[in-house]
Amino acid sequence: MKLNEIKDNEGARKGRIRVGRGIGSGKGKTGGRGQKGQKSRSGVSINGFEGGQMPLHMRLPKRGFNNPFGKDYAEVNIGMIQKLVDAKKLDAKKTVDHEALKVAGVARGGKDGVRLLGKGELKTKLTFKVAGASKGATAAVEKAGGKVDIIDKGKPEHEKKAARAEANKAKA
């Protein structure tokens, strides 16, 4: 066998159906769309349309609120961190940050960083670099001789815009 002789097994790749290419193809003339009507035409988007009746997605009650400014933190309890240190999955000498917790497998998601929570007990002296920590978690870490360093993600966007506007005013 040579490189130029290699090919797929018979039936491994199936070509796409070319619609509207003659009656003999089996999908010619109307192209599988039937005859006439809105659905036979191009540019139709009638998903959810119920012939003028109020559509189901509009009839059902809506609940809750989705905060567009809400933060997404990966929440990690100090008890879980102690388990990881005991299992040698976290190095107690290094700084514990989002990357280290991701590698250890506890901080899934959390695009805005890690928030430390106080459930459990911490016996090891650790240095944390996190986006946030509860009062109880901070107290527990300091009691064990460690330190919590909170990363300042910076000002919110509206404050940055206001500062830029002030700077531009001062220039003019």
What pLDDT score was predicted for residue 171? Answer: 83
Helix and strand element counts for the chain (H, E): 5, 6
d(CA 72, CA 132): 11
- Any idea which architecture 74-150 has in CATH? Ribosomal Protein L15; Chain: K; domain 2 (3.100)
Low-confidence residues of the chain: pLDDT under 70: 152-156
What pLDDT score was predicted for residue 18? Answer: 93
Helix (H) or strand (E) holding 130: strand 127-130
What pLDDT score was predicted for residue 123? Answer: 87
Q: Residue 98 corresponds to which amino acid?
A: H
What pLDDT score was predicted for residue 4? Answer: 95
User: For the purposes of burial, counting CB atoms within 10 Å of the CB of 77, is it exposed (0-12), middle (13-18) or buried (19 or more)?
Assistant: middle
Instruction: Say what the pTM is.
Output: 0.54
The string of pLDDT tens digits covering residues 86-112 is: 888 888 888 888 888 888 888 888 888
